[in-house]
Amino acid sequence: MAYSSGAMLFGFTAFVNPIATTFGWSIAQISLGMSLRGLESGALNPFLGVVIDRWPARRLALAGVLAYGLGLLLLSRVNNLAMFYAAFLVIGLGSSLAIQMLPMTMVARWFRKNIGKASGILAVGTGIGGVFIPLLVKLIDTYGWQNALIVLAIGLWVVGIPLSLVFRNRPEEHGLLPDGSPPDIANGSDNPEARDFNIGVRQAIKMRAFWFIGITLMLQIATINAVVIHLMPYLASIGLERSSASQVSMVVALASMGARIPFGLLSDIFQKRYVMALTCGLLSAGAFLFWLIDGSSFVLIILFAITFGLGMGGFQPVRTPTIAEYFGIRNFGAILGLLSVFVTIGMIVAPPAAGWVFDTLGYYDPAWLILSVTALAGAILILILPPPPGSSVK
């Protein structure tokens, strides 16, 4: 997850201007590539969720890593928009499986009481990747963006193939219980499995919680992806040097990384919907600060980076515990896959829309203001959601 975020999540913003310079494509056209990656993920994730619930995790992780690396290689060889978008479809398949769906499902299977802390630790990986943005910028500026992608593809295989072999399906298959509970209390009241409930997929779709959580996730990811993808192009458009813009991106990543475990811990203590609402509020405030930046206020830029980074960092570790709390574990993969459709909508719409605003008006400002409002709407929506079934958390 760290490698992927450094290469594509945080890292793709470093590729936008070099690709535009090479081919003369608009910012909106380039942003659409990331959106197509999200579109494919949204179409496949419901299917992938069912597959993850039934097939061995190790094989799926290996397949995802191989596909992801192949997509990066294809991206390095593109010479037209059709090839560019096709490469992102391959990247989307691999990353959705190996980096998004599978790790989240594994955490939900292996943890109950400590699912927030475990999700926070897992999410630190994504934050770590952003620290390497200045190094990626140096790699691109020195050797070109095509060669940088080849290096990233080979590195992904070197790192990812061995790591895919450590995946294990479920604790029960190894004589274990979630959270490290000893097997001799399997039928006791302290057993997480004994307390667990399981919502069917059809039943979940009929629940108000499914739609409220889905829409909130959509609004969160729309804000995150639009800002992260356009961060360096926007800062460049208001006069910051490319190296300085990469350092701002690194500060966002560092703040994000620092928030992940604390937000995971908060979700183990307080109602998870409150913690999710807090992340939405921070994203809203961060997008608003982004709108206020005029290129000359260093303090305002750093305040944006920290605020937005905290909201972004809190998003990921709270998502898995919230879904597990409302719908149980048995069909977690399938329900997560369906909720990913909402995430996909946010990923598809927001980045190209922000690019279109810039291509049309010559500045980004309206996009950031709109995203600030939509993130705030997500906070309100999740706050009015009733507590989960059987919740005893204050």
- Between residues 199 and 185, which one has the greater pLDDT? 199
Helical segments of the chain, H only: 2-4, 13-23, 27-54, 57-76, 81-95, 102-110, 115-129, 133-143, 145-164, 192-195, 201-205, 208-237, 242-269, 272-292, 298-327, 332-361, 365-383
User: What tokens appear for 277 in the block?
Assistant: 């609402």
Residue in 350, 337, 353, 323 with CA at minimum distance from that of residue 41: 337
CA-to-CA separations, 268 to 117, 199, 275, 312, 325, in angstroms, rounded: 7, 21, 10, 19, 11
- Spell out the domains of the chain, with CATH numbers in brackets: 2-171+197-383 (1.20.1250.20)
pLDDT value of position 323: 87
Rounded Cα distance, 372 and 134, in Å: 27
> Are 225 and 350 within 8 A, CB to CB?
yes
Q: Using one digit for the tens of pLDDT, what is the confidence trace for 60-74?
A: 999 999 999 999 999
Task: Assess whether pLDDT exceeds 80 at residue 130.
Answer: no
Q: Read off the pLDDT of residues 342-388 as tens digits, 9 standing for 90 and up.
A: 988 888 888 888 888 988 888 888 999 999 999 999 999 999 988 87
Q: How do residues 218-266 score in pLDDT, each as one tens digit?
A: 999 999 989 988 888 888 888 888 778 878 888 888 888 888 888 888 8
d(CA 78, CA 145): 11
Amino acid (one-letter) located at 92: G
What does the block give as tokens for 214?
Answer: 């889905």
